[in-house]
Amino acid sequence: MNSKRIKTLVSLIDSDMKVIDVGTDHGYVPILLRQRNISVVGCDIHLKALASARKNILMHHMENDISLYLSDGLNNVDVKGFDTLVIAGVGEKTIEHILSNEDKLKDIKNLVLQANNAHDQLRLFLNQKNFKLVKEVCLFEKKKWYVIMKFSYGKEVLSKEEILFGKYNLENKAYYEYKLNDLRKILPLVPNKEEVLEKIRILDDYLSK
């Protein structure tokens, strides 16, 4: 397993967190967390994905340490004692769907999320659900940018700029440059130029800090 993205997800988990990896697929997140002695279970909506996780977990002799559930989100997962979710490699709407299961979320205090799209929507959704944006890591791997977000339970008000592009962080400068170039390219093609121009202004401002 040599994925910078997965290693970053795992690096955002503190050693005392109890983790459910939702949409575990190959099971690499639970395996890396167990290597740090962190309590973790995995679940996935597809049997084939769970078979892949099981195979990798067996290869690492961790079958007694990592339970797996066949489950749409947390529906069939015994969440007792767990306080942290990892949800990565899925669309923003799937994350919203998983996080809409209020009954199962009562004890969840930390989220490590990597949505494949609509990061602004995800920030807004979690801000409204009383989760604070603790950290964002933007990384480039296999010709693609990934945005990994860590949230913890608690209230905060994010500005419009922060909803759109996250809290300003010098370490994410290359990502702001990529987004800015993208917006400049689409500007001549879109009917609603004002919206794109506003985003360009925000990124220009982030880059001039």
Ligand X SMILES: C[S@@+](CC[C@H](N)C(=O)[O-])C[C@H]1O[C@@H](n2cnc3c(N)ncnc32)[C@H](O)[C@@H]1O
Q: Site residues (CB under 6 A) for ligand X?
A: 6, 22-25, 43-46, 49, 72-73, 88-90, 94, 97-98
Amino acid residing at 203: L
Q: Which helix (H) or strand (E) holds 175?
A: helix 173-186
Give 46 or 55: the residue with its C-beta nearer to ligand X. 46
User: Min. distance of Cβ 22 from ligand X in angstroms?
Assistant: 5
User: Min. distance of Cβ 74 from ligand X in angstroms?
Assistant: 8
User: Min. distance of Cβ 19 from ligand X in angstroms?
Assistant: 12
Q: Are 68 and 54 in contact (CB under 8 A)?
A: yes
Give 23 or 166: the residue with its C-beta nearer to ligand X. 23
User: What is the torsion angle, in degrees rounded to the nearest 10, for the CA atoms of residue 4, residue 137, residue 207 and residue 142?
Assistant: 30
Give 98 or 149: the residue with its C-beta nearer to ligand X. 98
Distance CA 55, CA 174 (A): 37
| Two tokens, residue 7 | 């290693």
Residue 202: CB atoms within 10 A of its CB come to: 21
Give 42 or 166: the residue with its C-beta nearer to ligand X. 42
- Helices then strands, counting H and E runs in the chain, come out as 9, 7
Give 126 or 183: the residue with its C-beta nearer to ligand X. 126
| Two tokens, residue 114 | 């990597």
User: Min. distance of Cβ 52 from ligand X in angstroms?
Assistant: 8
Residue 188: CB atoms within 10 A of its CB come to: 8
User: Min. distance of Cβ 24 from ligand X in angstroms?
Assistant: 6
